[in-house]
Amino acid sequence: MTEPSLLHRIQAYNKGRIPAVLAMKYTAMSRNAFGFLRGSDHLFFEDIPKDSPILQSPKTWICGDLHLENLGSFKGDNGLAYFDLNDFDEAALAPCLLDITRFACSVHVGADELGMDAKGAVFHVKAFLDQFATTLQKGYIRVLEKETAVGVIRQLLQTVQNRTRKEFLTGRVEGKKKPRLVTGTGHYIAISEEEQKRVSDAFCKTPLYKSNPEFFAIKDIAFRIAGTGSLGMERYAVLVEGHSGKGRYALIDIKEAQAPSLLLRHHFRQPAWTSQAERIVEIQKRVEAAAPALLSTMEIDGRHFVVKELQPMEDKLNLAHFGGKTKRCSQFIDKVGAICAWGALRSGGRQGSATADELIAFAGKADEWKKYVADYASKYAGKVRRDYAHFKKAYDSGKLTPER
């Protein structure tokens, strides 16, 4: 039996998504090889050999889709600003080196956008792996704080900590007597009153709403366009009027949850979650130093969603933040290695995840796996570029038509 073609694999994985929004995902994937990498995490897991040493590493709670742009700043449920992993849609209990290898691959694939050559990418991947292993072996858990952060991380933390809700809503909300989300800008799409009622009724049944209904007085709901990998699934932005006074608003993100792509290919034993949304929320709370504000779950017509206070796209890291400056990039990548190690240690010993002692011992043997990971990430980045060229050709010729 012949292997399915690249396009068939991509279309099969994305089957059932909203066609008009899936078309946006394909457009984002067509822009460059890094965009393609972001939108095709399932290919990474499908391609990794089942006998790879990467799959023999200790199991930890991984985010499942770690790459250069899957980190950012947000306000935690304690009101403080944090910089951390910020997308757990693909999170699972799995070998820790899967996240590490995917991030290393993203450095190679994103090298051009970062303003570095192949040697620079090799150097930064080595530094990342060294920092991950060193931090893991120490066994101590830290939090990345604004006072000690540098470069783009410090910039993002300061922006989030100092920004008021009023500043955040500027350009996103219009109208004083009857406030509405600004649609037609590429971020929000207007939906029918019937669809708004469907989402509103479901939200009002959640424990989050019932705990403080005055804070969640719903003013408007729109479809939200954000990210790359999840485009095509249901996602909404909800404008609510807070309890601190008339005209004080907040935005809530409601995002559909689906099974992680990793587990479609590899069968690592998982806890018996009540839903995919519970999986995402619970793992995020375990791994991060503090969870994003309002992080919880809800159900709409039998489908499960993750709820949290909306995080603006500008608070998420993107390659443009580096401006081609390798020093900024080096400062960032160094910290990501530490963040990954802290998350593994923080969530260790839970429902089958490796304990701190097991992770420390694994880090003590880093010379045995760092070179393999570095070599695999470099070689796989070449495959990503080749796959992207094939995808781009098909996209330009109109062969990718999203279907339900």
Helix axes 151-162, 326-346, angle to 10 degrees: 70
DSSP category for residue 220: E
Residue 1 lies in a domain: no
Domain boundary among 274, 289, 314: 314
Residue 60 lies in a domain: yes
Residue 352 lies in a domain: yes
Strand (E) or helix (H) holding 135: helix 118-138
pLDDT confidence of residue 379: 98
pLDDT confidence of residue 351: 97
Residue 281 lies in a domain: yes
Quick one: how many helices (H) and strands (E) in the chain?
16, 12
Q: pLDDT tens digits, residue range 258-304?
A: 999 999 999 999 999 999 999 999 999 999 999 998 999 999 999 99
> How much is the average pLDDT of 21-39?
96
- What's the mean pLDDT when you consider all of the chain? 91
220 close to 181: Cβ distance less than 8 angstroms? yes
Residue 153 lies in a domain: yes
- Number of compact structural domains in the chain: 2
pLDDT confidence of residue 313: 61
Q: Do 132 and 12 fall into the same domain?
A: yes
> How much is the average pLDDT of 335-360?
97
Q: pLDDT tens digits, residue range 176-185?
A: 888 999 998 7
Q: Do 128 and 261 fall into the same domain?
A: no
Q: Which of 128-142, 179-193, 299-313 has the highest mean predicted lDDT (pLDDT)?
A: 128-142
What is d(CA 379, CA 64) in angstroms, rounded to the nearest whole number?
20
What is d(CA 77, CA 192) in angstroms, rounded to the nearest whole number?
32
Q: Do 283 and 263 fall into the same domain?
A: yes
What is d(CA 249, CA 238) in angstroms, rounded to the nearest whole number?
10
User: Does residue 1 surpass a pLDDT of 50?
Assistant: no
Query: In which band, very low, low, confident or very high, does the pLDDT at 404 lie, cut at 50, 70 and 90?
Result: low
Residue tagged 């400062």 (tokens): 331
DSSP category for residue 256: E
112 close to 329: Cβ distance less than 8 angstroms? no
Tell me the percentage of the chain whose pLDDT exceeds 90: 69
Residue 404 lies in a domain: no
Q: Residue-wise over 131-147: b if at least 16 C-beta within 10 A, else e?
A: bbbebbbeeebeebebe
Q: Do 351 and 303 fall into the same domain?
A: no
Helix axes 276-287, 326-346, angle to 10 degrees: 110
- The pTM is what? 0.93
Q: Do 234 and 186 fall into the same domain?
A: yes
What is d(CA 84, CA 190) in angstroms, rounded to the nearest whole number?
31
Q: How far is CA 307 from CA 15, 25, 28, 94, 354, in A?
A: 24, 22, 25, 24, 29
Tell me the percentage of the chain whose pLDDT exceeds 70: 94
399 burial class (0-12, 13-18, 19+ CB within 10 angstroms)? exposed
More confident residue, 248 or 197: 197
Q: Do 34 and 143 fall into the same domain?
A: yes
Q: Do 301 and 217 fall into the same domain?
A: yes
Q: Do 20 and 156 fall into the same domain?
A: yes
Phi-psi region of 9 (alpha: psi -120 to 50; beta: other; left: phi over 0): alpha
Q: Do 121 and 21 fall into the same domain?
A: yes
Centre a 10 Å sphere on the Cβ of residue 388 and count the other Cβ atoms it contains: 23
Residue 401 lies in a domain: no
Domain boundary among 283, 314, 345: 314
Question: Up-side HSE of residue 374: CA atoms within 13 Å toward CB?
Answer: 19
* Tokens (6 digits) for 371: 């070179």
Cα 285 to chain centroid distance, Å, stands at: 14
pLDDT confidence of residue 166: 75
User: Does residue 110 surpass a pLDDT of 70?
Assistant: yes
More confident residue, 150 or 371: 371
> How much is the average pLDDT of 79-104?
94
Residue 154 lies in a domain: yes
Domain boundary among 298, 314, 330: 314
User: Does residue 322 surpass a pLDDT of 80?
Assistant: no
Enclosing domain of residue 284 = 165-314
Q: Do 267 and 173 fall into the same domain?
A: yes
Residues 6 or more apart whose Cβ sits within 8 Å of residue 330: 124, 127
* CA geometry: angle 29, 125, 358, nearest 5 deg: 110
Q: Do 12 and 144 fall into the same domain?
A: yes
Q: Do 67 and 89 fall into the same domain?
A: yes
* Tokens (6 digits) for 23: 């078309």
pLDDT confidence of residue 247: 57
